[in-house]
Amino acid sequence: MKKRRRDLRTQKTYEALISAFQELLQEKSFEKITVRELCDRARTRTATFYNHFSDKYDFFSFMIRDMRREYSERANLQSTPEHPENYYIELLKIGFDFMDTNQKIIENFESDNLLMIMINSTSGNMVKDIRNHLEEDMKNGIHFPIDPDILTQIFIGAMVQCSRWWFEHRKTVSKEKVFEQLKEMIQKIYAVK
């Protein structure tokens, strides 16, 4: 994996590549997308792409980490000392909204078995973020009825499995129904004294 610099020009290149990649995924599966096609769509030179990424798999991995970082930052903005559970609720909301608005991309990921890679990559890093949030909550006087390591796994498992289940049943089960029930579960965990 190549080291990535983040100046303004590089950030614009990354944004163009991510946007182009998401557009292409609306049209075809990951395996059928070429680096040249991605660069043409992003209006980026292929040499520039290879200055930053080894191949499209390296780029895909970068994109997932970048999205996870962005989503975690957005969720952090919702968390307050009075309502630290809002971090997890916002993560859920972001995840369900992403899946809802990008159904074709998710379907193309599924056809390439990339959905599991994406979920595993995202959830592996989310474990650290969630564990850190739980530790911070405990420092602030919140006592959980469950060991924080187990609670971390419960949160990750609920997010991953319920979102996958909803996606498979989205024609018969509303995203709002699943989200509200998960939200209620999180609020109950935080309400236990």
Residue 36 sits in a domain whose CATH number is 1.10.357.10
In a domain, 40, yes or no: yes
Identify whether 1 is part of a domain.
no
User: Domain range for residue 163?
Assistant: 8-191
> How far is it, in rounded angstroms, from Cα 21 to Cα 174?
28
For the stretch 135-173, pLDDT in tens is 999 999 998 988 999 999 999 888 888 988 998 999 999
Whether the pLDDT of residue 9 is over 80: the answer is yes
Does a structural domain hold residue 28? yes
Is 132 among the domain residues? yes
- Residue 22: phi, psi to the nearest 5? -65, -40
Q: How many separate domains does the chain show?
A: 1
Provide the pLDDT for residue 14: 95
In a domain, 3, yes or no: no
Residue by residue, DSSP assigns 9-46 as HHHHHHHHHHHHHHHHHHHS-GGG--HHHHHHHHT--H
Please report whether residue 176 resides in a domain: yes
